[in-house]
Chain A
Amino acid sequence: MLFAVSAFPQEGHPLTGTWTGDWGPTAAQRTHITLVMNWDGKNVTGTINPGPDAVNLGSVILDVTNWTVRIEADAKDASGKPVRISVEGKLEDLTNPHRKLSGTWMQGATKGDFRLIRD
Protein backbone atom coordinates (compact mmCIF):
# COMPACT_ATOMS: atom_id res chain seq x y z
CA MET A 1 0.00 0.00 0.00
CA LEU A 2 1.27 3.46 -0.86
CA PHE A 3 0.82 6.29 1.55
CA ALA A 4 0.83 9.75 0.00
CA VAL A 5 2.28 11.36 3.08
CA SER A 6 4.96 13.98 2.63
CA ALA A 7 7.18 14.91 5.52
CA PHE A 8 8.90 17.69 3.60
CA PRO A 9 8.38 21.22 4.73
CA GLN A 10 6.82 23.94 2.65
CA GLU A 11 8.33 27.23 3.66
CA GLY A 12 6.71 29.53 1.07
CA HIS A 13 3.33 31.25 1.20
CA PRO A 14 1.39 29.67 4.05
CA LEU A 15 -1.78 29.00 2.03
CA THR A 16 -0.13 27.46 -1.03
CA GLY A 17 -0.80 23.76 -1.37
CA THR A 18 -3.50 21.12 -1.23
CA TRP A 19 -5.70 20.98 1.86
CA THR A 20 -8.05 18.17 2.74
CA GLY A 21 -10.71 17.74 5.38
CA ASP A 22 -14.44 18.20 5.74
CA TRP A 23 -17.21 20.58 6.65
CA GLY A 24 -20.71 20.09 7.97
CA PRO A 25 -23.47 21.44 10.20
CA THR A 26 -23.00 18.68 12.78
CA ALA A 27 -20.32 16.27 13.87
CA ALA A 28 -22.14 13.44 12.14
CA GLN A 29 -23.10 15.22 8.94
CA ARG A 30 -19.81 15.89 7.15
CA THR A 31 -18.84 16.54 3.55
CA HIS A 32 -15.33 15.87 2.27
CA ILE A 33 -13.40 18.88 0.96
CA THR A 34 -10.25 19.15 -1.11
CA LEU A 35 -9.09 22.75 -1.33
CA VAL A 36 -6.19 23.71 -3.60
CA MET A 37 -4.70 27.18 -3.22
CA ASN A 38 -1.84 28.98 -4.91
CA TRP A 39 -0.25 32.39 -4.32
CA ASP A 40 0.59 34.16 -7.61
CA GLY A 41 2.23 37.19 -6.08
CA LYS A 42 -0.93 39.30 -6.01
CA ASN A 43 -3.79 36.97 -5.16
CA VAL A 44 -4.47 33.57 -3.75
CA THR A 45 -6.35 31.58 -6.36
CA GLY A 46 -7.68 28.09 -6.10
CA THR A 47 -10.32 25.44 -6.38
CA ILE A 48 -12.64 23.54 -4.10
CA ASN A 49 -12.83 19.86 -5.03
CA PRO A 50 -10.86 19.86 -8.30
CA GLY A 51 -12.44 17.67 -10.97
CA PRO A 52 -15.84 17.63 -12.65
CA ASP A 53 -17.54 19.37 -9.71
CA ALA A 54 -14.80 21.90 -9.14
CA VAL A 55 -15.64 25.29 -7.70
CA ASN A 56 -13.22 28.12 -8.41
CA LEU A 57 -12.46 30.38 -5.49
CA GLY A 58 -13.78 33.88 -5.98
CA SER A 59 -11.66 35.62 -3.41
CA VAL A 60 -9.22 34.62 -0.70
CA ILE A 61 -8.09 37.18 1.84
CA LEU A 62 -5.35 36.35 4.29
CA ASP A 63 -4.94 38.68 7.26
CA VAL A 64 -1.33 38.19 8.30
CA THR A 65 -1.80 40.13 11.54
CA ASN A 66 -3.78 37.25 13.00
CA TRP A 67 -3.50 34.55 10.30
CA THR A 68 -7.21 34.52 9.58
CA VAL A 69 -8.55 33.64 6.14
CA ARG A 70 -11.78 34.62 4.35
CA ILE A 71 -12.78 32.67 1.27
CA GLU A 72 -15.71 33.38 -1.04
CA ALA A 73 -16.84 31.18 -3.90
CA ASP A 74 -19.92 30.61 -6.05
CA ALA A 75 -21.01 27.01 -6.44
CA LYS A 76 -24.13 25.20 -7.63
CA ASP A 77 -26.26 22.88 -5.58
CA ALA A 78 -27.48 19.47 -6.72
CA SER A 79 -30.31 21.04 -8.70
CA GLY A 80 -27.97 23.47 -10.44
CA LYS A 81 -29.08 26.45 -8.42
CA PRO A 82 -26.35 29.01 -7.54
CA VAL A 83 -25.19 28.78 -3.97
CA ARG A 84 -22.71 31.02 -2.18
CA ILE A 85 -19.86 29.58 -0.14
CA SER A 86 -18.43 31.83 2.59
CA VAL A 87 -15.60 30.58 4.72
CA GLU A 88 -13.91 32.18 7.71
CA GLY A 89 -11.01 30.33 9.19
CA LYS A 90 -7.80 30.60 11.13
CA LEU A 91 -4.43 29.11 10.33
CA GLU A 92 -2.89 27.09 13.13
CA ASP A 93 0.44 25.38 13.61
CA LEU A 94 1.91 27.64 10.97
CA THR A 95 5.41 26.21 11.08
CA ASN A 96 4.17 22.70 10.42
CA PRO A 97 3.98 21.67 6.74
CA HIS A 98 0.78 19.88 7.77
CA ARG A 99 -0.66 23.07 9.19
CA LYS A 100 -4.36 23.41 9.96
CA LEU A 101 -7.11 25.70 8.77
CA SER A 102 -10.43 25.63 10.58
CA GLY A 103 -13.44 27.81 11.26
CA THR A 104 -16.95 28.35 9.94
CA TRP A 105 -18.30 27.28 6.54
CA MET A 106 -21.49 28.74 5.10
CA GLN A 107 -22.90 27.09 2.01
CA GLY A 108 -26.16 28.72 1.00
CA ALA A 109 -28.32 28.74 4.09
CA THR A 110 -26.41 25.92 5.77
CA LYS A 111 -23.89 26.89 8.37
CA GLY A 112 -21.30 24.56 9.78
CA ASP A 113 -17.69 24.22 10.76
CA PHE A 114 -14.74 22.96 8.77
CA ARG A 115 -11.33 21.46 9.44
CA LEU A 116 -8.59 21.22 6.84
CA ILE A 117 -5.05 19.96 7.03
CA ARG A 118 -2.44 20.81 4.44
CA ASP A 119 -1.17 17.68 2.70
Chain B
Amino acid sequence: MTKPSALAIGLAVVAVLSARPMFSQRPFSATYDPGRQVKLQGVVTRIDWSTPNAFFFIDVRDATGTVANWAIDIGNPLELERNGSKRSTLKIGDAVTVDAVPARSEARQASAKSVVLTRTSRRLFAPAPRRAAAPAAPVPRWPDGKIRLGPPPGKTGYWGAASTQVLVDGAAAKVPMSEDGLLTNITDADKVAPFLPWSKAIFEQRQRRFLRDDPYSKCMPQGGPRQFQSANGFQFVEQKELNRILILQGGGNRNWRVIYTDARPVGSPAEAVPTYYGSSVGRWEKDTLVVESVGYNEKFWLTSGGLPHTEALKLTERFTRTDLNTLKYEVIVDDPRTYSKPWTGGWTIQWVPDQEIQEYFCEDNADFVR
Protein backbone atom coordinates (compact mmCIF):
# COMPACT_ATOMS: atom_id res chain seq x y z
CA MET B 1 0.00 0.00 0.00
CA THR B 2 1.35 3.40 -0.94
CA LYS B 3 1.84 5.65 2.03
CA PRO B 4 1.27 9.38 1.96
CA SER B 5 4.40 10.85 0.46
CA ALA B 6 5.69 13.98 -1.28
CA LEU B 7 2.30 15.58 -1.65
CA ALA B 8 0.79 13.92 1.35
CA ILE B 9 2.62 15.69 4.04
CA GLY B 10 2.15 14.72 7.65
CA LEU B 11 1.48 17.81 9.71
CA ALA B 12 0.86 18.61 13.32
CA VAL B 13 -2.04 17.53 15.46
CA VAL B 14 -5.34 18.78 14.20
CA ALA B 15 -7.20 20.84 16.72
CA VAL B 16 -10.79 21.08 15.58
CA LEU B 17 -12.34 19.63 12.47
CA SER B 18 -14.47 22.27 10.92
CA ALA B 19 -15.72 20.26 8.00
CA ARG B 20 -15.95 16.83 9.44
CA PRO B 21 -18.89 14.70 8.32
CA MET B 22 -21.73 15.33 10.70
CA PHE B 23 -23.91 12.42 9.82
CA SER B 24 -21.54 9.63 9.03
CA GLN B 25 -22.99 6.29 9.93
CA ARG B 26 -19.62 5.32 11.29
CA PRO B 27 -18.02 7.13 14.22
CA PHE B 28 -15.48 9.56 12.81
CA SER B 29 -12.86 8.29 15.23
CA ALA B 30 -13.31 4.74 14.00
CA THR B 31 -12.23 5.60 10.48
CA TYR B 32 -10.04 8.67 10.71
CA ASP B 33 -7.08 9.63 12.86
CA PRO B 34 -7.62 13.19 14.07
CA GLY B 35 -4.03 13.26 15.30
CA ARG B 36 -2.70 13.43 11.73
CA GLN B 37 -3.25 15.57 8.67
CA VAL B 38 -2.39 15.24 4.98
CA LYS B 39 -2.19 17.72 2.13
CA LEU B 40 -3.06 16.28 -1.27
CA GLN B 41 -2.99 17.80 -4.74
CA GLY B 42 -4.56 15.94 -7.58
CA VAL B 43 -7.14 15.63 -10.31
CA VAL B 44 -10.69 14.45 -9.70
CA THR B 45 -11.40 11.04 -11.24
CA ARG B 46 -14.79 10.15 -9.72
CA ILE B 47 -17.56 11.66 -7.62
CA ASP B 48 -19.81 9.54 -5.40
CA TRP B 49 -22.65 11.79 -4.19
CA SER B 50 -24.52 9.39 -1.93
CA THR B 51 -25.47 8.90 1.71
CA PRO B 52 -24.21 8.56 4.32
CA ASN B 53 -20.97 10.11 3.02
CA ALA B 54 -20.19 11.81 -0.26
CA PHE B 55 -16.75 11.15 -1.69
CA PHE B 56 -14.66 12.35 -4.56
CA PHE B 57 -11.56 10.60 -5.77
CA ILE B 58 -8.33 12.18 -6.92
CA ASP B 59 -5.21 10.92 -8.62
CA VAL B 60 -2.22 12.15 -6.65
CA ARG B 61 1.20 11.98 -8.27
CA ASP B 62 4.23 11.81 -5.99
CA ALA B 63 7.77 13.01 -6.65
CA THR B 64 8.69 9.76 -8.40
CA GLY B 65 5.75 10.04 -10.76
CA THR B 66 3.79 7.26 -9.13
CA VAL B 67 0.06 7.92 -9.16
CA ALA B 68 -2.17 6.88 -6.28
CA ASN B 69 -5.92 7.31 -6.15
CA TRP B 70 -7.28 8.81 -2.92
CA ALA B 71 -10.88 8.74 -1.68
CA ILE B 72 -11.81 12.08 -0.12
CA ASP B 73 -14.73 12.05 2.29
CA ILE B 74 -16.63 15.35 2.21
CA GLY B 75 -19.45 14.40 4.57
CA ASN B 76 -23.15 13.94 4.30
CA PRO B 77 -24.49 15.12 0.93
CA LEU B 78 -27.78 16.30 2.43
CA GLU B 79 -25.88 18.57 4.79
CA LEU B 80 -23.66 19.71 1.92
CA GLU B 81 -26.73 20.59 -0.11
CA ARG B 82 -28.19 22.49 2.80
CA ASN B 83 -24.94 24.46 2.86
CA GLY B 84 -25.25 25.30 -0.83
CA SER B 85 -23.02 22.67 -2.41
CA LYS B 86 -24.23 20.48 -5.26
CA ARG B 87 -23.24 17.32 -6.99
CA SER B 88 -21.91 19.48 -9.82
CA THR B 89 -19.82 21.70 -7.54
CA LEU B 90 -16.84 19.60 -8.49
CA LYS B 91 -16.29 18.01 -11.88
CA ILE B 92 -14.19 15.12 -13.09
CA GLY B 93 -10.91 16.56 -14.34
CA ASP B 94 -10.84 19.45 -11.85
CA ALA B 95 -7.52 19.96 -10.08
CA VAL B 96 -7.84 20.46 -6.34
CA THR B 97 -5.80 20.87 -3.19
CA VAL B 98 -7.15 19.05 -0.17
CA ASP B 99 -6.25 19.38 3.49
CA ALA B 100 -7.59 16.32 5.21
CA VAL B 101 -7.49 13.93 8.12
CA PRO B 102 -6.25 10.53 6.92
CA ALA B 103 -7.71 7.13 7.71
CA ARG B 104 -6.35 5.25 10.69
CA SER B 105 -5.49 2.41 8.37
CA GLU B 106 -3.05 2.54 5.49
CA ALA B 107 -5.97 3.12 3.15
CA ARG B 108 -5.67 6.07 0.78
CA GLN B 109 -8.73 7.69 2.24
CA ALA B 110 -9.11 10.98 4.08
CA SER B 111 -11.78 13.26 5.49
CA ALA B 112 -11.57 16.71 3.96
CA LYS B 113 -11.00 19.75 6.13
CA SER B 114 -10.75 22.03 3.14
CA VAL B 115 -10.97 21.59 -0.61
CA VAL B 116 -9.64 24.32 -2.90
CA LEU B 117 -10.26 24.39 -6.64
CA THR B 118 -6.90 25.13 -8.28
CA ARG B 119 -8.13 27.17 -11.24
CA THR B 120 -10.16 29.64 -9.16
CA SER B 121 -8.57 29.26 -5.71
CA ARG B 122 -12.15 28.99 -4.44
CA ARG B 123 -12.83 26.88 -1.38
CA LEU B 124 -15.45 24.20 -2.02
CA PHE B 125 -17.77 22.32 0.32
CA ALA B 126 -17.09 24.81 3.09
CA PRO B 127 -19.50 24.69 5.98
CA ALA B 128 -22.07 27.46 5.81
CA PRO B 129 -21.93 30.18 8.39
CA ARG B 130 -23.87 29.13 11.44
CA ARG B 131 -27.53 29.67 10.71
CA ALA B 132 -29.37 32.14 12.85
CA ALA B 133 -31.67 30.44 15.28
CA ALA B 134 -35.24 30.18 14.12
CA PRO B 135 -37.36 33.00 15.47
CA ALA B 136 -38.45 32.37 19.02
CA ALA B 137 -42.03 31.26 19.26
CA PRO B 138 -44.21 29.69 21.90
CA VAL B 139 -44.69 25.97 22.15
CA PRO B 140 -47.43 24.83 19.75
CA ARG B 141 -50.38 23.16 21.44
CA TRP B 142 -53.32 20.98 20.56
CA PRO B 143 -56.87 22.28 21.12
CA ASP B 144 -56.92 20.40 24.44
CA GLY B 145 -53.92 22.39 25.61
CA LYS B 146 -51.42 19.53 25.38
CA ILE B 147 -48.08 20.29 23.79
CA ARG B 148 -47.62 19.37 20.16
CA LEU B 149 -44.39 17.47 19.63
CA GLY B 150 -44.57 17.97 15.88
CA PRO B 151 -45.01 21.08 13.72
CA PRO B 152 -47.55 23.79 14.39
CA PRO B 153 -50.82 23.39 12.42
CA GLY B 154 -50.29 23.87 8.71
CA LYS B 155 -46.51 23.88 9.00
CA THR B 156 -43.76 21.38 8.36
CA GLY B 157 -40.59 20.64 10.24
CA TYR B 158 -38.77 17.97 12.17
CA TRP B 159 -36.30 17.54 15.01
CA GLY B 160 -32.73 17.83 13.79
CA ALA B 161 -29.33 17.85 15.40
CA ALA B 162 -28.84 16.87 19.02
CA SER B 163 -26.60 19.15 21.08
CA THR B 164 -24.24 16.22 21.64
CA GLN B 165 -23.51 12.79 20.22
CA VAL B 166 -22.57 11.32 23.57
CA LEU B 167 -24.33 10.32 26.76
CA VAL B 168 -22.63 10.96 30.08
CA ASP B 169 -23.81 10.69 33.66
CA GLY B 170 -25.08 14.20 34.36
CA ALA B 171 -23.78 13.94 37.92
CA ALA B 172 -20.23 13.52 36.64
CA ALA B 173 -17.74 16.27 35.97
CA LYS B 174 -17.20 17.24 32.35
CA VAL B 175 -15.27 14.48 30.62
CA PRO B 176 -12.99 15.45 27.72
CA MET B 177 -13.84 13.41 24.63
CA SER B 178 -14.28 13.72 20.88
CA GLU B 179 -17.65 14.54 19.37
CA ASP B 180 -18.32 10.88 18.80
CA GLY B 181 -17.44 9.90 22.35
CA LEU B 182 -13.80 8.85 22.14
CA LEU B 183 -12.27 9.75 25.49
CA THR B 184 -9.22 12.01 25.44
CA ASN B 185 -7.93 10.00 28.37
CA ILE B 186 -9.08 6.40 28.81
CA THR B 187 -8.62 6.68 32.56
CA ASP B 188 -11.66 8.96 32.58
CA ALA B 189 -13.93 5.99 31.83
CA ASP B 190 -15.15 5.91 35.42
CA LYS B 191 -16.53 9.42 35.01
CA VAL B 192 -18.76 8.53 32.09
CA ALA B 193 -21.16 6.27 33.97
CA PRO B 194 -21.27 4.17 37.17
CA PHE B 195 -20.02 1.00 35.51
CA LEU B 196 -19.79 -2.47 36.99
CA PRO B 197 -16.31 -3.97 36.47
CA TRP B 198 -17.28 -6.00 33.39
CA SER B 199 -19.08 -3.14 31.68
CA LYS B 200 -16.21 -0.75 32.34
CA ALA B 201 -13.81 -3.24 30.82
CA ILE B 202 -16.02 -3.65 27.75
CA PHE B 203 -16.42 0.13 27.41
CA GLU B 204 -12.65 0.63 27.62
CA GLN B 205 -12.07 -2.09 25.08
CA ARG B 206 -14.44 -0.41 22.62
CA GLN B 207 -12.64 2.86 23.22
CA ARG B 208 -9.24 1.30 22.64
CA ARG B 209 -10.51 -0.01 19.31
CA PHE B 210 -11.52 3.56 18.35
CA LEU B 211 -15.23 2.65 18.34
CA ARG B 212 -14.81 0.62 15.17
CA ASP B 213 -17.07 -2.17 16.46
CA ASP B 214 -20.10 0.09 16.73
CA PRO B 215 -23.08 -1.94 15.43
CA TYR B 216 -24.58 1.28 14.05
CA SER B 217 -21.67 1.55 11.65
CA LYS B 218 -22.80 -1.82 10.28
CA CYS B 219 -26.25 -0.36 9.64
CA MET B 220 -27.89 -1.78 12.75
CA PRO B 221 -30.53 0.51 14.29
CA GLN B 222 -29.65 3.18 16.83
CA GLY B 223 -31.50 1.70 19.78
CA GLY B 224 -32.35 3.37 23.06
CA PRO B 225 -31.46 7.03 23.59
CA ARG B 226 -29.20 7.12 20.59
CA GLN B 227 -32.20 7.27 18.29
CA PHE B 228 -32.47 10.94 19.27
CA GLN B 229 -28.96 11.57 18.00
CA SER B 230 -30.00 10.13 14.69
CA ALA B 231 -28.43 11.07 11.43
CA ASN B 232 -30.89 13.29 9.60
CA GLY B 233 -33.25 13.82 12.51
CA PHE B 234 -36.60 12.37 13.52
CA GLN B 235 -40.17 13.39 13.98
CA PHE B 236 -43.09 12.63 16.24
CA VAL B 237 -46.45 11.65 14.78
CA GLU B 238 -49.06 11.96 17.49
CA GLN B 239 -52.05 9.68 16.81
CA LYS B 240 -54.32 10.82 19.59
CA GLU B 241 -57.28 8.75 18.41
CA LEU B 242 -55.13 5.61 18.72
CA ASN B 243 -53.49 6.65 21.99
CA ARG B 244 -50.03 6.33 20.59
CA ILE B 245 -47.13 8.41 19.38
CA LEU B 246 -44.91 7.28 16.54
CA ILE B 247 -41.28 8.32 16.26
CA LEU B 248 -40.05 8.24 12.68
CA GLN B 249 -36.30 8.12 12.22
CA GLY B 250 -34.81 10.21 9.46
CA GLY B 251 -31.59 8.26 9.25
CA GLY B 252 -30.23 4.78 9.72
CA ASN B 253 -32.76 2.42 8.22
CA ARG B 254 -35.62 4.92 8.66
CA ASN B 255 -37.00 2.84 11.52
CA TRP B 256 -39.98 3.81 13.62
CA ARG B 257 -40.92 3.38 17.27
CA VAL B 258 -44.28 3.30 19.02
CA ILE B 259 -45.02 4.91 22.39
CA TYR B 260 -48.41 3.85 23.74
CA THR B 261 -50.28 6.47 25.74
CA ASP B 262 -53.26 4.31 26.73
CA ALA B 263 -52.09 3.76 30.32
CA ARG B 264 -51.20 0.12 29.74
CA PRO B 265 -48.71 -1.40 32.17
CA VAL B 266 -45.05 -1.00 31.30
CA GLY B 267 -44.31 -4.71 31.60
CA SER B 268 -41.18 -6.42 32.78
CA PRO B 269 -37.93 -6.86 30.88
CA ALA B 270 -38.05 -10.63 31.39
CA GLU B 271 -41.37 -10.98 29.56
CA ALA B 272 -40.80 -8.59 26.70
CA VAL B 273 -39.63 -9.53 23.24
CA PRO B 274 -36.23 -7.79 23.13
CA THR B 275 -36.09 -5.06 20.51
CA TYR B 276 -33.99 -2.04 19.60
CA TYR B 277 -36.55 0.51 20.81
CA GLY B 278 -38.10 -1.48 23.65
CA SER B 279 -41.72 -1.62 24.70
CA SER B 280 -42.69 1.96 25.53
CA VAL B 281 -45.53 3.47 27.53
CA GLY B 282 -45.89 7.23 27.84
CA ARG B 283 -47.84 9.66 29.97
CA TRP B 284 -47.97 13.41 30.29
CA GLU B 285 -46.74 15.09 33.46
CA LYS B 286 -47.85 18.67 32.86
CA ASP B 287 -45.90 19.70 29.75
CA THR B 288 -43.46 16.79 29.83
CA LEU B 289 -43.96 13.48 28.06
CA VAL B 290 -42.59 10.76 30.33
CA VAL B 291 -41.89 7.43 28.63
CA GLU B 292 -40.92 4.22 30.40
CA SER B 293 -39.47 1.42 28.30
CA VAL B 294 -38.22 -2.10 28.85
CA GLY B 295 -37.55 -5.03 26.58
CA TYR B 296 -34.37 -3.90 24.88
CA ASN B 297 -32.13 -6.33 23.05
CA GLU B 298 -28.35 -6.27 23.48
CA LYS B 299 -27.53 -5.66 19.84
CA PHE B 300 -26.78 -1.95 20.03
CA TRP B 301 -24.62 0.50 21.95
CA LEU B 302 -26.35 3.12 24.05
CA THR B 303 -24.11 5.76 22.47
CA SER B 304 -21.42 6.07 19.87
CA GLY B 305 -18.87 6.05 22.69
CA GLY B 306 -19.66 2.40 23.35
CA LEU B 307 -21.81 2.30 26.49
CA PRO B 308 -22.97 -1.30 27.04
CA HIS B 309 -26.22 -2.59 28.49
CA THR B 310 -28.11 -5.84 29.03
CA GLU B 311 -31.67 -6.98 28.49
CA ALA B 312 -32.41 -5.77 32.03
CA LEU B 313 -32.24 -2.19 30.76
CA LYS B 314 -35.07 0.12 31.71
CA LEU B 315 -35.16 3.66 30.36
CA THR B 316 -37.25 6.52 31.65
CA GLU B 317 -37.23 9.33 29.11
CA ARG B 318 -38.55 12.83 29.62
CA PHE B 319 -39.36 15.00 26.59
CA THR B 320 -39.98 18.68 27.28
CA ARG B 321 -40.56 21.11 24.44
CA THR B 322 -39.46 24.34 26.04
CA ASP B 323 -40.35 26.49 23.01
CA LEU B 324 -41.10 25.95 19.35
CA ASN B 325 -37.46 25.31 18.53
CA THR B 326 -36.13 23.33 21.48
CA LEU B 327 -36.76 19.84 22.80
CA LYS B 328 -35.12 18.92 26.07
CA TYR B 329 -34.37 15.21 26.29
CA GLU B 330 -33.49 13.57 29.58
CA VAL B 331 -33.05 9.85 30.17
CA ILE B 332 -32.60 7.75 33.29
CA VAL B 333 -30.57 4.62 32.52
CA ASP B 334 -31.45 1.82 34.93
CA ASP B 335 -29.66 -1.45 34.23
CA PRO B 336 -28.49 -3.13 37.44
CA ARG B 337 -26.63 -5.78 35.45
CA THR B 338 -24.44 -3.14 33.83
CA TYR B 339 -24.36 -0.11 36.13
CA SER B 340 -24.05 0.11 39.91
CA LYS B 341 -26.93 2.57 40.13
CA PRO B 342 -29.39 4.37 37.87
CA TRP B 343 -27.95 7.47 36.24
CA THR B 344 -29.22 10.37 34.19
CA GLY B 345 -28.03 12.06 31.04
CA GLY B 346 -29.53 14.14 28.30
CA TRP B 347 -29.25 16.82 25.67
CA THR B 348 -31.31 19.28 23.67
CA ILE B 349 -32.53 18.92 20.10
CA GLN B 350 -33.19 21.73 17.66
CA TRP B 351 -36.29 22.10 15.52
CA VAL B 352 -35.76 22.35 11.77
CA PRO B 353 -38.63 24.55 10.60
CA ASP B 354 -40.38 24.44 7.23
CA GLN B 355 -38.49 21.39 5.98
CA GLU B 356 -39.20 17.72 5.50
CA ILE B 357 -36.87 14.90 6.39
CA GLN B 358 -35.06 13.82 3.26
CA GLU B 359 -34.42 10.24 2.24
CA TYR B 360 -31.37 8.89 3.96
CA PHE B 361 -30.56 5.23 4.35
CA CYS B 362 -27.62 3.56 5.92
CA GLU B 363 -25.18 2.55 3.26
CA ASP B 364 -21.80 1.60 4.56
CA ASN B 365 -19.61 3.49 2.13
CA ALA B 366 -17.30 4.98 4.73
CA ASP B 367 -14.43 2.69 3.77
CA PHE B 368 -13.63 2.63 0.10
CA VAL B 369 -10.26 1.03 0.51
CA ARG B 370 -10.24 -1.83 3.01
B298 touches which one: A12, A62, A95 (CB < 8 A)?
A12
B337 touches which one: A11, A13, A62, A64 (CB < 8 A)?
A13
Q: In this assembly, does A24 line the interface, its C-beta being within 8 Å of a C-beta of chain B? A: no
Looking at chain A's contact residues, the main secondary structure is loop
A40-B206 Cα distance, complex, nearest whole Å: 22
A11 touches which one: B197, B209, B298, B312 (CB < 8 A)?
B298
Q: In this assembly, does B299 line the interface, its C-beta being within 8 Å of a C-beta of chain A? A: yes
Structural contact, B197 and A41, CB atoms closer than 8 A: no
Residues of A within 8 A of B201 (CB): 64-65, 67
Residues of A within 8 A of B199 (CB): 13
Q: In this assembly, does A89 line the interface, its C-beta being within 8 Å of a C-beta of chain B? A: no
Structural contact, B299 and A10, CB atoms closer than 8 A: yes
Q: In this assembly, does B163 line the interface, its C-beta being within 8 Å of a C-beta of chain A? A: no
A27-B311 Cα distance, complex, nearest whole Å: 38
Residues of A within 8 A of B178 (CB): none
A2-B328 Cα distance, complex, nearest whole Å: 47
Structural contact, B336 and A11, CB atoms closer than 8 A: no
Closest residue of chain B to A64 (Cβ to Cβ) is B201
Q: In this assembly, does B308 line the interface, its C-beta being within 8 Å of a C-beta of chain A? A: yes
Given contacts A40-B337, A64-B198, contact A12 B209 (CB under 8 A): no
A65-B200 Cα distance, complex, nearest whole Å: 10
User: Which residues from 187 to 224 on chain B have a C-beta closer than 8 Å to any C-beta of chain A?
Assistant: 196-202, 205-206, 209, 213, 215, 220
Structural contact, B213 and A95, CB atoms closer than 8 A: yes
B198 touches which one: A8, A10, A11, A14 (CB < 8 A)?
A14
Residues of B within 8 A of A13 (CB): 198-199, 310, 337-338
Residues of B within 8 A of A14 (CB): 198, 202
Closest residue of chain A to B206 (Cβ to Cβ) is A95
User: How many interface residues does B have (CB within 8 Å)?
Assistant: 25
Closest chain-A Cβ to B82's Cβ sits at a distance in Å of: 33
Given contacts A41-B336, A62-B198, A64-B197, contact A11 B205 (CB under 8 A): no
Closest chain-B Cβ to A92's Cβ sits at a distance in Å of: 13
Q: In this assembly, does A16 line the interface, its C-beta being within 8 Å of a C-beta of chain B? A: yes
Which of B299, B309, B310, B338 is the most central at the interface, judged by chain A CB atoms within 10 Å of its CB? B310
User: Which residues from 33 to 73 on chain A have a C-beta closer than 8 Å to any C-beta of chain B?
Assistant: 39-41, 62, 64-65, 67
Structural contact, A41 and B312, CB atoms closer than 8 A: yes
Residues of A within 8 A of B300 (CB): 11
Closest chain-A Cβ to B74's Cβ sits at a distance in Å of: 29
* Chain B contacts to A: CB under 8 angstroms: 196-202, 205-206, 209, 213, 215, 220, 298-301, 308-312, 336-338
10 sampled A-B residue pairs with Cβ under 8 A: A9-B215, A11-B298, A11-B309, A13-B198, A16-B298, A39-B337, A40-B337, A65-B201, A95-B205, A95-B206
* Chain A contacts to B: CB under 8 angstroms: 8-14, 16, 39-41, 62, 64-65, 67, 94-95
- What 5 A-B pairs are tightest by C-beta distance, nearest first? A12-B298, A64-B201, A41-B337, A12-B310, A95-B213
5 additional A-B residue pairs with CB within 8 Å, beyond A11-B301, A12-B311: A11-B299, A12-B309, A13-B310, A64-B198, A95-B209
